Amino acid sequence: MEQQSAGPDRSDAPAGECEWREELRQQQSQVDALRERLVEVKVGMRCSEGDSRRELDHLCRRVKTIATLLAYLKSKARIMAIPHLAHTSCGIRLQEGVGYIDRHGVPLADWPKGAGPGSCGGSSGEDRMVVEGGAATEHGDAVGGDVDVDDILKSIRVVTDVMESLVKRVIVAESEATNEKEKVRMGLEEIRRKTLQVETMSAKVDEMEKFAVGTNGMLNEMRQRVEDMVLETTRQRQRAAENEQELSRVKQDFESLRTYVSTLVSVRETLLSSEKQFETMEKLFDRCDMMGRTALVPGSLHTVSLYSLLHNDNGFGMHLGARQASLFIYCYVASKF
């Protein structure tokens, strides 16, 4: 009954009121949604505020840790700026008879030149303990698991190693500079000695030039004398050639004279032998005369004997003229008759 009575009332209500009520309902639903969203936002704000506080506390701890590490790094840099403190901090000491050695006992001569941080042995264990222990003690265990802080610690270690490597490189460079200065000093001394030697050699060269000028005149005179001697030698050679020709002519004349003398000697010997033969013939003639006187022998027989004697004696026949032989024979025959 009530629904039936209400139905006509609602139907009788004006259209504007219905629209107003519908809009009111929508606004009420929006308000409820906004309230729920506000509650959610408040809850989220409370949660985010707690997270923000925790994050802020964490960031504060990180900032303080980084500030501590930077303070350590600054103090390390100040120490590295002072040579003897830098040597002590890096474990470098001066050993007698060896020179500088690092914390591992490696001498200066074996240090790598231009080496990076990894080749220098890293920072000392005490420095690492100081850095890590200081950060952990000040801010608890929250720092231990922080990746960013670990990266910063690694960077601090790398920077420390770089500082130590730079200290080593400075020591090596100073040692090399000292050696180079010593080499330069020795080179300057050597240059001075060489300069003195060059000046001495220049003076000697000047003296030698003067001596060479004097010697050149003497050499010219000697050359002129040698040329004169060469000309004289040439003339003497010509004379020697003429003398050789004259000597050859004299030899030829001597050979001719010797041949002539030999001929004369042979003629003399022949004459001597002929003289002996004449004497023999005279004796023979005397003997024949005696025989002719004792016994009459025909003249023809004696003539034949005389011709046979002359025929057998070739030397006598050669040197005795035919006229003399005929005269001798005629006289001999005439004496017989």
What confidence tens digit (pLDDT) does each residue in 121-160 have?
Answer: 445 555 555 555 554 544 444 444 467 777 888 888 888 8
Q: Would you kindly state where each structural domain of the chain is located, as residue ranges?
A: 51-179, 296-336
**Residue whose pair of structure tokens reads 């060896």 in the numeric block:** 98
* Bridge partners of residue 2, in order along the sequence: none
Q: CA 313: distance to chain centroid?
A: 103
Residue 126 confidence (pLDDT): 52
Residue 120 confidence (pLDDT): 46
Residue 209 confidence (pLDDT): 85
2-6, 95-99, 190-194, range with the lowest pLDDT: 2-6
Q: How far is CA 249 from CA 237, 256, 259, 306, 320, in A?
A: 18, 10, 15, 49, 36
Mean pLDDT, residues 99-105 taken together = 70
Instruction: With cut-offs at 50, 70 and 90, classify the pLDDT of residue 312.
Output: low
Most confident of 6-10, 62-66, 94-98, 237-241: 237-241
Residue 309 confidence (pLDDT): 54
Give burial (CB, 10 Å; 0-12/13-18/19+) of 175: middle
Mean pLDDT, residues 111-124 taken together = 51
Is the pLDDT reported for residue 14 higher than 50?
yes
What is the overall mean pLDDT for the chain? Answer: 73
The pair of three-digit structure tokens given for residue 125, joined into one six-digit string: 């264990």
Residues in contact with 90: Cβ distance below 8 Å, sequence separation at least 6, in sequence order? 102, 103, 124, 164, 167, 168
Is the pLDDT reported for residue 29 higher than 90?
no
Straight-line distance from the first to the last Cα atom of the chain, in angstroms, rounded to the nearest whole number = 254
What confidence tens digit (pLDDT) does each residue in 271-293 have?
Answer: 888 778 778 877 877 777 676 66
What confidence tens digit (pLDDT) does each residue in 55-96 have?
Answer: 888 888 888 888 888 888 888 888 877 877 777 777 777 767
138-142, 217-221, 240-244, 249-253, range with the lowest pLDDT: 138-142
Is the pLDDT reported for residue 3 higher than 50?
no
Task: Tell me which of 139 and 165 has the higher pLDDT.
Answer: 165
**Pairwise CA distance, residues 184 & 189, whole Å:** 9
Residue 72 confidence (pLDDT): 84
Three-class SS state of 93: strand
H helix runs in the chain, sequence order: 2-12, 15-81, 83-90, 125-139, 147-294, 299-312, 314-319, 322-336
90-97, long-range: CB < 8 A, 24+ apart: 90/124, 90/164, 90/167, 90/168, 91/124, 92/167, 92/168, 92/171
Instruction: With cut-offs at 50, 70 and 90, classify the pLDDT of residue 329.
Output: low
Residue 71 confidence (pLDDT): 86
Q: Is the separation of the CB atoms in 315 and 270 below 8 Å?
A: yes
